[in-house]
Amino acid sequence: MPPLPPADQVLPVLKQAVLPAAGGAAFVCLLFLCLGRWAAALGAAAGVVVGFVWANYTFEKLDWAGTGRLVPWRPWDDVPPNQTAWRGLATAGLLLVLAGLVSRWVGLLVGRITSDRYWWVVSLVVWLPRAVAVGVASGWLVPKSAADLPWVPYALPALMLLSWAAWDGLARSTPGGEAAAYQAAACTAAGAVLLYDSWASAMELAVVVGSALAGVAIVARVARADCSGAVPAGVAALPVLMLAGRLGIDEPKLPVACYWLVALAPLALLPFLVPKLSRQTGWLTRVGRAALVLAPLAVAVVLAAQFGELPFGGDEAADPTPAGGTTEG
């Protein structure tokens, strides 16, 4: 069993990351639900954005450009957009959240004015803008260290889009926060893997996103509301943090399987896009979904614990750069 972290390292993370992200997201979701259940998806989107902004904001610098605590608000102020990697997550996540909301509203409008036999038109209107947004966002998030891996610029957007389809399908077919809860668990597992590989700042970023999604999931579960508006935040964060973590650390201690297991976990939900399965709401279906998603996450964390070590008490715990000294992720 890994050692418990010292309180002086846990309390700052709770104060600066977990509580602001989860509390801010939950509070905003509740405000929107006061307008009615029709505003649930919009509230989930606004909640995850507010939660992230609150946890990422710092008062240490008075100028706006310096208020980003974990990632800058405008990553291209310092480096070209195609080299921002994980530093562009705030911008990429916001783009995907907005694309998800707008495409959904347009799809609902088109669905009202077309017959059921033109369902494919609605799907095209919804997913074509999302695919474009994923293509643009992934261009900001491919790290420079992937220059020798020509498949990465194609695999990253493909994985993001497939993950979006899987998470969104679950969120739309099963109101109640299940999709956001699984995303929160995946981000937590990603943070554990990054911490075992001695990248504490990226771990905290994963915790912030996961906590914001957890806040949305709790409110959606209590209100039996739609959480699909928050899904794009996890779509942006999870695969990018795993890619940046693996390629941004000079001498990774963990096997590559730890990163692949976390990044590919959402794809386990793709079979539930089949209409017959998506309509199943019994406890057996829920248990099966949970096992399919959580099992690879648990295996990844167990492997990380076997091959890595927690940096508690060492200098690496406070080092904001990956092990080995590189700042590229």
Give the pLDDT score at 162: 96
Full DSSP string of 156-195: HHHHHHHHHHHHHHHHHHSTTTHHHHHHHHHHHHHHHHHH
5 falls in which pLDDT band (50, 70, 90)? Answer: low
Q: Please, what is the average pLDDT of the chain? A: 86
pLDDT at 324: 40
Segment 86-134, tens digit of pLDDT: 788 889 999 999 999 999 999 999 988 887 777 888 899 999 999 999 9
Percent of the chain at pLDDT exceeding 70: 87
> pLDDT value at position 144?
78
Distance (Å, rounded) from C-alpha 313 to C-alpha 5?
8
**Residue 172: how many CB atoms within 10 A of its CB?**
16
Closest CA to 52 of 106, 93, 103, 107: 93
Higher pLDDT, 110 or 281: 110
For residues 142-151, give the mean pLDDT.
84
pLDDT at 326: 43
What tens digit of pLDDT does each residue of 8-53 get? 667 778 888 999 999 999 999 999 999 998 899 999 999 999 999 9
Residue 327 in this model has a pLDDT that exceeds 60: no
Tens-place pLDDT, residues 61-87: 666 666 888 888 877 666 655 556 778
End-to-end CA distance of the chain: 29
pLDDT confidence of residue 285 = 85
Ramachandran angles phi, psi of 150, nearest 5°: -65, -15
- pLDDT score at 3: 61
State pLDDT tens for residues 158-177: 999 999 999 999 998 888 89
- Higher-scoring residue by pLDDT: 212, 310: 212
Cβ burial, residue 185 (10 Å; 0-12/13-18/19+): buried
Determine the pLDDT at residue 211: 96
**Mean pLDDT lowest for which of 60-64, 199-203, 219-223, 316-320?**
316-320
